[in-house]
Chain A
Amino acid sequence: MDPHYQHLYDILAHSQGYIFPNEIELQWGILIVVYPFITGLVAGAFILASLERVFKVRILQPTYQIALLTALSFLLVATMPLISHLSQPQRAYEIMITPHSSSAMAIFGFVYLWYLMVVLLLEIWFDYRHSMVVWANEKKGIMKWVYRILTLGVSDISPRTVRWDRKMGYIITVVGIPSAFILHGYVGFIFGSIKANPWWSTPLMPIIFLFSAMVSGIALVMIVYMVITYFRKKVIDLDVLDSIGKYLFFVLILDFTLEGLDQIHRIYVAEESFEIIKLLVSGKLYLTLFIAQGLVGTIIPLITLVFLQFYKHKIRVRKTMYFIVSILVLIGVYSMRWNVVIGGQLFSKSFSGFTSFKVGLIGLDGTLMAAFWLILPIGILAFLLWLLPPWRMVKEEEEI
């Protein structure tokens, strides 16, 4: 026996029932769990930012730039788990040069580029342009040049020009909302369009992905806001937390309803695959679906958020509770990604058995790699906050 294949023999020994012989090894591991999780954080954070801009939710103003920069730092990393899980990563560029128009994965490259280049970068650029020009004039040495390059050499900050920054920024945000919806709906479609897999193949998949994305993005911005305020030794604005919490509550309710609807539909129509899926959710997915995603990630946060609407006393307690709720929600959404990606591969397409999955620690498809791609955006965010501090931005007169 070739020791190279030892892990496959181990899995074979743990498989149950009948699975097709090629199905022993899971094709998509933890990196593909991380990928929709990260993309979801991007879409969610952006949508929260757009609330402030487009729907004029003034109270969220302190989180506007934070949300944008958070979205950018995670978006920059979003494709990395995908690329690093490829068996031939050096050929990844082929997706851009010969995209197959019928493949959900191929078009994702362009959806991603559109979102990065046209939506996020432009919006941030227009938002910061005035400030960057001022900083370029204030700073000395290398930083002066960095800001000058970032402004693309446009140093005009006359009121007329700056007004255009705002105008363009607004237009881009309006375009950005459907873009964010498409970006993450699309990730859902990558799974939802696989008709061979009954656990994935549902038209609700893009919508479920979208709402869970908003849940996770909003929770992340709440955490980032609290952490940043803590490090800057400033006072956390409870009104901000309350209103983010309110949005989190509404979106979480919607998300819960949609996912519930999906499951109820599955149970009621009880198609060919129903028996194997019943075994899947009551067995291998019990912990991550019912406990992590359902109880910890949805029910407990919902109850807590309702409670926080009425409980208006101790400020410290409320802050801590918001923090914990956000963490729980993130755990819940991560579990949801896990349940979709891993859960969909655990049962055989023969509907007669299960393979098993154990995440490795090291290696290109291991936990450490996944953790790296999750931690890297936080580093990028710290850098961006240093480069483009929202709290040093040039104040402008109120919009029309």
Chain B
Amino acid sequence: MKFYVPPQIPRLALAFAIFITLFLVLRHFLVPDTFGKYGHYRAASLIDNAQPEIHYAGQQACFKCHQDIEDKKAQDVHSEIHCETCHGPGEKHVVSSKVEDILKPSGREFCGSCHIINAGKQKSAINQIDLNKHNVGKNCIECHNPHQPWEMKK
């Protein structure tokens, strides 16, 4: 007599085989193409992440046209501050100079956003101004040229 195989076992095995095959076939079609090329992720996602447009052009782009400002800035304490820190994102303006979305901030509040007194700032990091005492009522840029702060205007 042959070895007895209970009939429910091969039937179940068949059901499981179908299920697993189906899963593997589905998986084959669903796994993204570039998945696993460099690691456990979609390699194409690296390209996706490099895609977004920039808003800040970087100061070298500014200096291509505004060399005068570059020269001026280089001579004073604001030399390390990049243009877009105060003037806002400039990529659109770089692409087409017709787009005039460059900020030209002025006023005590704006300069104060860096220069206001706060115990959190190191003395060496920045000149701190007490806005309540220093030439109250005057706009900073009446005396200071923001590109060259110590070249005082009259």
Contacts and interface: CB of A to CB of B under 8 A. Distances in A.
5 contacts: A97-B27, A97-B30, A156-B7, A160-B6, A165-B6
Contact of B40 (A96, A100, A152, A156): A100
Given A122-B12, A152-B12, A152-B15, A96 B7 contact: no
Interface string B1-35: 00010111101100110010001001100111001
A93 to B, nearest CB: 7
A161 interface: yes
A184 interface: no
Q: Secondary structure at chain B's binding surface: helix, strand, loop or mixed? A: helix
B35 to A, nearest CB: 6
A34 B47 CA distance: 39
Nearest to B6: A164
Interface string A93-108: 1101110110000000
A153 interface: yes
Contacts, number: 44
Given A98-B35, A100-B40, A152-B15, A164 B8 contact: yes
A126 B6 CA distance: 12
Contacts of B15: 152
Contact of B31 (A97, A126, A160, A165): A97
Contacts of A125: 12
Nearest to B5: A164
Nearest to B15: A152
B40 A93 contact: no
A117 interface: yes
Interface residues of B, number: 19
A117 B4 CA distance: 25
Interface in B44-63: none
B27 A154 contact: no
B12 A161 contact: no
Interface residues of A, number: 21
A153 B6 contact: no
B71 to A, nearest CB: 40
A125 B11 CA distance: 12
Contacts of B12: 122, 125, 152
Contact of B8 (A93, A94, A98, A165): A165
Given A98-B40, A152-B12, A117 B19 contact: yes
A93 B11 CA distance: 28
Given A98-B40, A122-B12, A161 B6 contact: yes
A153 B40 contact: no
B27 A96 contact: yes
A168 interface: yes
B29 to A, nearest CB: 9
A274 B77 CA distance: 47
Given A97-B31, A98-B36, A117-B16, 9 more contacts: A98-B40, A126-B8, A152-B11, A152-B12, A152-B15, A156-B6, A164-B6, A164-B8, A168-B8
A152 B31 contact: no
Interface string A134-168: 00000000000000000011101000110011001
Interface string A356-388: 000000000000000000000000000000000
A280 to B, nearest CB: 29
